[in-house]
């Protein structure tokens, strides 16, 4: 067993059930899902965006929980605004 897999295994034991099982999207994944350019997604990650896509940074990389993106999209469809 590699060091990385041992670390993930030990983290899984300490987190609530299912937390690591959530799918994480990259900027490219979100752009593909929404059928928009990657630059548009970057624009909607900025804190000054009135309609920010919920996500977080891991160093220089953006990651988005699938469930958060889908919920944000549903709010958009129903006309709600988000400031996540």
Per-residue pLDDT of 32-61, as tens digits, reads 999 999 999 999 998 887 889 999 999 999
9 pLDDT exceeds 60?
Answer: no
Which residues partner with 24 through β-bridges? Answer: 65
| pLDDT given for residue 38 in this prediction | 97
5 pLDDT exceeds 50?
Answer: no
74 pLDDT exceeds 70?
Answer: yes
The CATH number, out of the four listed (2.60.120, 1.10.1660, 1.10.3470, 1.10.150), of the domain defined by the range 23-84:
1.10.1660
Looking at per-residue confidence, does 15 or 34 come out higher?
34
- The CA-atom distances, in angstroms, between 27 and each of 15, 23, 77 are 25, 13, 21
pLDDT band at 7 (very low <50, low <70, confident <90, very high): very low
């Amino acid at each position: 067993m590699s060091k990385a897999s041992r670390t993930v295994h030990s983290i899984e034991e300490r987190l609530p059930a299912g937390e690591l099982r959530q799918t994480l999207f990259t900027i490219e994944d979100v752009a593909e899902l929404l059928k928009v350019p990657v630059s548009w997604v970057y624009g909607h990650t900025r804190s000054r965006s009135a309609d920010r896509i919920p996500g977080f940074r891991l160093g220089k990389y953006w990651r988005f929980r699938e469930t958060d993106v889908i919920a944000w999209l549903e709010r958009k469809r129903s006309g709600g605004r988000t400031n996540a």
